Structure 1
Amino acid sequence: MKTHNSFEERFEFNGTAKTLSLVFIVIGVLAIALGFIFGGEHVQRTYSNLLLMSYYFVCVCTAGVFFCAYQYVAQAGWSAAFIRIPQAFAKVLPIASLILIVIVTFGLFTTHKVVEHGKEEVVPYLYAHWATHGLTIPGSENFDPIIFGKKAFLNIPFFYGMLVVLLGAYSYFGWALAKCSENEDSVGGMSNYDKSFKLSCIFLVIFGFTFPIFAFGVIMSLEAHWFSTMFGWYNLAAMHVSGLAIIALVMIYLQKKGYFTWLHIDHLHSMGKLIFGFSIFWTYVWFAQFFLTWYANIPEESVYFYIRWEPQYKFWFWLNIAMNFLAPLLMLMSRDAKRVTNRMMWTCIILIAGHWLDYYIMIMPGTVKEHRGFGVEEIGIFLGFAGLFTYLMLNTLSKFNSLVPKKHPFLEESLHHHI
């Protein structure tokens, strides 16, 4: 069936979006520089915020690979018309991965002095709970029997191996799926689609088993005495919801700029259903992790939440659940709500901010400890990474020969998606 749309259309990355993204990158660089110049606790806050935003950056790009993969495995047709957007996320993942590895390296090998339990210790800015010298050496004044019991995986070689292997694998699959889609435009046929299907099946098996390990290593090990088997799935849900929210926001932005004219409100509606559903799943895992820890009342487990109920964090702890559960629940529950573009846009913005707060609550109590409000480091570094992601993602999107996979076997189904 013919359509009135031009599928040769390419995205041109220029104008306000390009200018603002570059301005935000400069703001981010200045915020990082000021954090190191101010010294003292500002350095710790800078490292913690760099970890937060580089992890968030990686998670959003990984969500692009994840989205593409389960669409192929489900043989879903509705998403074909805008699959270039998550493919752009996926192609940025190698850069995001490299940034995360660089930040963790500096955080691990740059040390400072702190006073713990009445004595002065030299600890790294990141992962001090397991990377401080002497924690796994019997007889050392820093010896910690709990960390000693976990030394098989809480050590620097394993940590780097995990980061490089997992991020390398996720990046490869993201690149391969995007490459197959581009090849499909050139040669047609089913060979590239079939290859994408197989790659997606392999990726989802690997990803399902390994992403919790990635979350354990990068985030949970910041407080290495604590352990939750649900933490990996909690992070998986947060990664997916924030990725979906940003994909939907990009769809809305590009349509307002005159691109993706073949998309209609039913595509946004379907994205809204995914965002709503996985926000509820995030809430389920959040509550289950919290409730089981509270019910067991084991000191070494409940201390994680006890710290987050200190006065400086308690308000943000409850705001987190309000933003990431109540906002999508109240704003997207009805069918009509998912079909109102501005409502979807604001829900996505709230969720993006909400999951930033979610990661903030995961990271800061174990590193910064005392919350002193949101300052230059928090705001500036957030804007810097937002600008960097926007610049890289939209620049990548502009490199595709067309904004639609012209020879995708389910393209017609996507163009006539109605619910």
Structure 2
Amino acid sequence: MTEERFVAPKNLKYFTYALITIGVISFAIGFFTDPQRTWANYLLNNFYFVSLAIGAAFFISIQYIAQAGWSAAFKRIPEAMAAYIPFAAVFFLILLIGVHSLYEWSHQETLATDRLIQHKAPFLNTPFLAVRLVIFFSLWILLTKLMRQTSLKEDIEGGLAHFHRSEKLSKIFIFIVAVSFSVFAIDMLMSLEVHWFSTLFAAKTFISAFLHGSAIITLIVILLHRNGHLNMLNRSHLHDFTRYMFMLAIVWGYFTFAQFMLIWYGNIPEETAFYVHRWHSPYQFLFYASIVLNWLIPFLLLMPRKTSRSKLAMIPVIVLLMIGYYIELYYEIWPATVHDAKFGLLEIGTFLGYAGLFSLVVINYLGKANLVPVKHPYLEESMQHHF
């Protein structure tokens, strides 16, 4: 296998710069006109794109641990997506400036009169939140950097030593990220409703990150193939990528249903408050829209063998999944912060800005190494993958 380099077209980079500019302008205008809503957008987009990066890093770790051969040729894509994590770290530290605009537990006057918040105060306080963010992102950055370095050394030296090291790092990473990202989801999202309890929320959020991260990996692979790269991609590879989205959509649906069903059946005020606050238009519509986009459509369209091997069918499903993830986060964040269901140029502009930055990071990192890991021990198996 010869080396293959990805060179991003200048027009593509200019396009990402334009998107970033739109995002910066949108935030600047938003902070002057509606700071509360702008901070909500900031949180939503931060969480959205770091979830894609974490989901991608988890994906590649699973491939190493399972010693999967089919995906070996495509591992540069999740590596490039994981490169966004350091940028997300900076953004989340900046988020601490707006903690009072988002989190009820951060207000001293509320803390003085609310016994439940007082009970949670040793954990839910701004200094300790900052410490947790530093610890989480330091671990994620360190491990993904080590995995990337090991992967690049494998390209130069070959052999099995670097593969086994990557496998060990992956085992460490999945354990750390399973715990830390769960706590991270509670910190960033569930604590917006400080009086709410759900033992399934963290797991559902983690599955969502894995699902949508896998979907974006698949989308990037398809787009690269359409532009003359990754020529080894065949219908069997597409089928396996689809199985990830199909399986994870089912698991996402299970956790979403289980959380709702248990809260509905238990009928405990501290738990039902989350849904009661959202059980009116348009949030009720968003609840159903999230289920349709994140579970029902992938389940129905990706189940048949014919569509699960078709790029033409997969791209619209992935786009709908990404819209579904935005709706899922909007449904969780907006009623707790903005309260009114506002959506307009601010939301569109900020999302485009983050999408531009995420895309720029990915295409830059794709160009920094061989697009195909030429000395991966399972590369031949991946290239000859058929069933």
User: Shared topology, TM-score over 0.5?
Assistant: yes
Distance 2:229 2:268 in 1: 55
Computing the radius of gyration over CA atoms, which structure comes out larger, 1 or 2? 1
Which residue matches 2:5? 10
Please state if 1:223 is matched with 2:193: yes
**1:59 match:** 51
Show the 5 A alignment for 1:175-190: 175-190=145-160
How many Å separate the matches in 1 of 2:298 and 2:72?
25
Give the corresponding residue for 2:164: 194
Q: 1:126 aligns with which of 102, 113, 132?
A: 102
For residue 206 of structure 1, the aligned residue among 172, 176, 191 is 176
Per-residue deviation, 1:20: 1.9
User: Does the 8 Å contact 2:83/2:361 carry over to 1?
Assistant: no
Q: Deviations over 1:150-206 (max 9, x none)?
A: 112111122111111112111111111111010001111111111111111111111
**Distance in 2 of aligned mates of 1:98 and 1:338:** 38
Aligned counterpart for 1:315 among listed residues 285, 304, 320: 285
Find the residue that maps to 2:127 and give its secondary structure: helix
Aligned partners of 1:166 and 1:86: how far apart in 2? 19
Paired residue secondary structure (1:228): coil
SS in 1 for 2:84: helix
- Report how far residue 135 of structure 1 moved: 3.6
Q: CA deviation at 1:312?
A: 3.0
Contact kept? 1:58, 1:100, Cα under 8 Å: no
Paired position in structure 1 for 2:308? 338
- State TM-score, norm by structure 2: 0.97
- Consecutive unaligned residues in structure 2, runs of 5 or more: none
Whether 1:407 aligns to 2:387 is: no
How far is the alpha carbon of 1:315 from its aligned partner?
A: 1.2
For residue 329 of structure 2, the aligned residue among 359, 363, 366 is 359
The aligned counterpart of 1:375 is 344
Partners of 2:218 and 2:12 lie apart in 1 by 17
1:77 to 69, 72, 90: 69
- Which structure 2 residues correspond to residues 25-174 of structure 1 after superposition, within 5 A? 25-38=20-33, 42-102=34-94, 104-108=95-99, 124-127=100-103, 129-136=104-111, 140=112, 143-174=113-144
Unaligned runs of 5+ in 1: 1-5, 109-123
Q: CA deviation at 1:88?
A: 0.5
**1:113 alignment counterpart:** none
* TM-score normalised according to structure 1 size: 0.90
2:23–2:354 Cα contact (<8 Å) kept: yes
Alignment partner, residue 263 of structure 2: 293
State the Cα distance separating 1:134 from its structure 2 match. Answer: 3.5
1:43-87 deviations in whole A, cap 9, x for unaligned?
211110110001111111111211111111111111100100001
314-323 vs 272-281, greater mean Cα deviation: 314-323
| Alignment match, 1:350 | 320
- Once the two structures are TM-superposed, the CA of residue 210 in structure 1 deviates from its matched residue by 2.3
Shift of 1:96: 1.7
Question: Runs (4+) of structure 1 moved beyond 3 Å?
Answer: none
Q: How many residues are aligned here?
A: 387
Question: Which deviates more, 151-160 or 353-362?
Answer: 151-160
1:19 to 14, 22, 27: 14
Aligned to 1:245: 215
Matches within 5 A, 1:259-298: 259-298=229-268
Q: Is the 8 A contact 1:312 1:370 kept in 2?
A: no
Contact 1:47 1:126 in 2 (8 A): yes
User: What is the CA–CA distance in structure 1 between the aligned matches of 2:339 and 2:238, rounded to whole Å?
Assistant: 40
How far is the alpha carbon of 1:15 from its aligned partner?
A: 3.7
Cα displacement string for residues 236-277 of structure 1 (whole angstroms, at most 9, x for unaligned residues): 111011101111110111111111112212111100000010
Name whichever structure is richer in helix by fraction. 2
Does residue 236 in structure 1 map to residue 206 in structure 2? yes
